[in-house]
Chain A
Amino acid sequence: MTNLEIIGRIDRSIAEEFEIDMEEMKPEKTLFQDLGLDSLDIVDLVIVLETAFGFKIREEEGIRKIRTLGDIHSFVIQKKDELESIPR
């Protein structure tokens, strides 16, 4: 999956599951202030990403640093890279 495809899938999943307009889905938008999420949504966000990409998120550090939609893009791309580099 290319980075562009990953970003597309993230944006579509989040827009759909949190009822946000696709036009709002810009990397610089902050999750809490711009996109209207709050701390109660974080767990749901984790599950949306896990479901969309079929991996498990088992770390708090990476998630805690996330502020913007762009941060989510980088987090997932990095996670995908890590997973793909593991020999099967």
Chain B
Amino acid sequence: MTHDFVVVGAGVSGLTSALLLAQHGHSVALVEKSGQTAPLLRGFSRRGVHFDTGFHYTGGIGKGEPLDVFFRYLGLSDRLSLLPFGARGFDTIRNVRDGFEFRFPSGYGPLRQNLLQAFPSERSAVETYLDAVRSACDSVPYLNLDASLDARGGLSRVFGPTLKETLDSLTADKILKSVLSTHCLLYGVAPEEVAFQQHACIVGSYYLSANGIAGGGRSLATAFDARLEELGVETHRGCEVTSLSVAPEGALRGVRLADGRELRCGGAVVTVHPRTMLEMVPEGAFRPAYKTRIMGLEETVSAFMLYSVSDIPLPIFSGRNLFVLPSADSLRDLGNRTLEESPLYLTAAYARPGDLPRGFIGIFPMLPETTRAWEDSRKGNRPGSYGQFKEEITRRMENLIKRYCPELAGATSLAETSTPLTVRDFGNSPSGGLYGVKHKVGQYNPVPLTRVKGLYLAGQAVTSPGVLGAVLSGFMACGNILGHDRLIKELKRCR
């Protein structure tokens, strides 16, 4: 069977790539290891409550904003209904030690106003920061359809300055700095490591607007599935790719599956973790320098997660997330802190779409190394000491949550927990990084083009985490095939 293109991996970047290529008349096969597309978007249910694992909310999907334009172009918008997060405060930052609370409202204007109200003597820092975030976003092609294609944010994502350096140059107010850095939990890299440019491109979309999707990640996965079918994308679920077949002259020839079949193709967009991609290509397809770079890519922090159900509705999480910082210093050295000194992210879980939340997910950053002692075990054969470790962490987490959120008033009970090993095994993240490969100053992440002719890379490692980052990576990869100018011209019609 011959296709124009095979897309490997049906996460958001793979789904986007498959739709883009099919929309332009190419015959496309999409191959996914799991029994269904977008497994991470679909989450799981316990005791009647659905817990989203890959998608909680997104920025930049308000009318005319980048993700809205992408979704309309991909034919997804009409299949989705948005759940606007609290316009007056979609994210609450609760700083325990200083007894300080801040709410992030939707829109640059209201955000500026809230920040100036909370930090009246920091006018210049607030305004300079917000201007810098906006112009960083404006410099990125696709995020800004009018940006020059040559710009691509320059090399500032690698050269820096870091978020911390930028904030240190603007203000000495530790609380303000921690408030503006809190969203680093959305991409799992500490403020002293992430480039300001990278941080800005992610948080900038949330500063525009914050929305959930009715039905959560499952609805997004269903919308993608319907569109795949409409466009006739041949979707192979439950099929693992074992290797990529490369012709002697160095061009990609096909994709081999675990069941022995080979899907012949003119090109492939591969969206798996870059290290997994390396294992798929024949020896000699890449030079040692490239392989060393890919193998050396650092991963983001991982997490310990706790999933709780509640006997009573939890309005505290309705259209709103809660970020708890034990102190203004809690974001430094992310993951490598005691639980008691670690930040915590809390978000809603629902029994029925449209109702008030009936549960929550609590996420503590944790280094993947924490569970290294059990790394040779798999679900079903974990040793007893692993269970004890989970119980101990859970007990401490529950106590902390009780202390941080008196609003929950003991109405909740534990339904499930997950560790860095769970992230590794269910998230296809070889070392358990919650967001896969890190984007940090000094690290050169892969780009869509490779030395193997016809092999393109997409996925969060190329751009940034989150639905917006993954969709963006699909456009960047397919732009190399379909023409960036052409895609951008067509996207402009969807503004």
Interface check A67, CB cutoff 8 A = no
Nearest residue, chain A, Cβ from B160:
A58
A16-B288, A18-B287, A18-B289 given; A43·B444 CB < 8 A: yes
Nearest residue, chain A, Cβ from B449:
A40
Interface check B290, CB cutoff 8 A = yes
Stretch from A22-30, A45-53, A80-88 at the B interface = A45-53
Interface check B450, CB cutoff 8 A = yes
Partner pick for A17 among B154, B287, B449, CB 8 A cutoff: B287
Q: How far is the CA of A19 from the CA of B290 in the complex (A)?
A: 11
Contact digits for A33-57, partner B, Cβ 8 Å, 1 yes 0 no: 0000010110111111000000010
Question: Which of B288, B289, B449 is most buried by chain A, counting CB atoms within 10 A of its CB?
Answer: B289
Within residues 144 to 200 of chain B, which ones have a CB less than 8 A from any CB in chain A?
A: 154-155, 159-160
Contact A44 B155 (CB under 8 A): no
Contact A43 B293 (CB under 8 A): yes
Contact B289 A47 (CB under 8 A): yes
Nearest residue, chain A, Cβ from B284:
A19
Nearest residue, chain A, Cβ from B294:
A44
Interface check B383, CB cutoff 8 A = no
Q: How far is the CA of A58 from the CA of B292 in the complex (A)?
A: 20
Contact A17 B289 (CB under 8 A): yes
A56-B442, A60-B155 given; A44·B289 CB < 8 A: yes
In angstroms, how far is the closest chain B Cβ from the Cβ of A46? 7
Contact B287 A19 (CB under 8 A): yes
| SS class, residues of chain A in contact with chain B | helix
Contact A17 B444 (CB under 8 A): no
List the B side residues contacting A16 at CB < 8 Å: 288
Contact A44 B287 (CB under 8 A): yes
Size bin of chain A's contact surface = 10 to 19
Interface check B451, CB cutoff 8 A = yes
Q: How far is the CA of A44 from the CA of B451 in the complex (A)?
A: 12
State how many residues of chain B have any CB contact under 8 Å with chain A.
16
Q: How far is the CA of A77 from the CA of B287 in the complex (A)?
A: 26
Partner pick for A58 among B159, B293, B444, CB 8 A cutoff: B159
Q: How far is the CA of A58 from the CA of B288 in the complex (A)?
A: 23
Contact A41 B444 (CB under 8 A): no
Contact B449 A19 (CB under 8 A): no
List the B side residues contacting A44 at CB < 8 Å: 287, 289-290, 293
List the A side residues contacting B155 at CB < 8 Å: 60
Q: How far is the CA of A38 from the CA of B155 in the complex (A)?
A: 18
Q: How far is the CA of A47 from the CA of B290 in the complex (A)?
A: 9
Q: How far is the CA of A38 from the CA of B453 in the complex (A)?
A: 13
Q: How far is the CA of A17 from the CA of B292 in the complex (A)?
A: 9
In angstroms, how far is the closest chain B Cβ from the Cβ of A17? 4
In angstroms, how far is the closest chain B Cβ from the Cβ of A79? 15
In angstroms, how far is the closest chain A Cβ from the Cβ of B433? 20
Q: A18-B289, A60-B154 known; 17 other A-B pairs, CB under 8 Å? A: A17-B287, A17-B289, A18-B288, A19-B288, A38-B451, A40-B447, A40-B449, A40-B451, A41-B287, A41-B290, A43-B444, A43-B447, A44-B289, A45-B289, A47-B293, A56-B442, A59-B159
A–B Cβ pairs within 8 angstroms, 29 of them: A16-B288, A17-B287, A17-B288, A17-B289, A17-B292, A18-B288, A18-B289, A19-B288, A40-B447, A40-B449, A40-B450, A40-B451, A41-B287, A41-B289, A41-B290, A43-B293, A43-B444, A43-B447, A44-B289, A44-B293, A45-B289, A46-B444, A47-B289, A47-B292, A47-B444, A48-B289, A58-B160, A59-B159, A60-B154
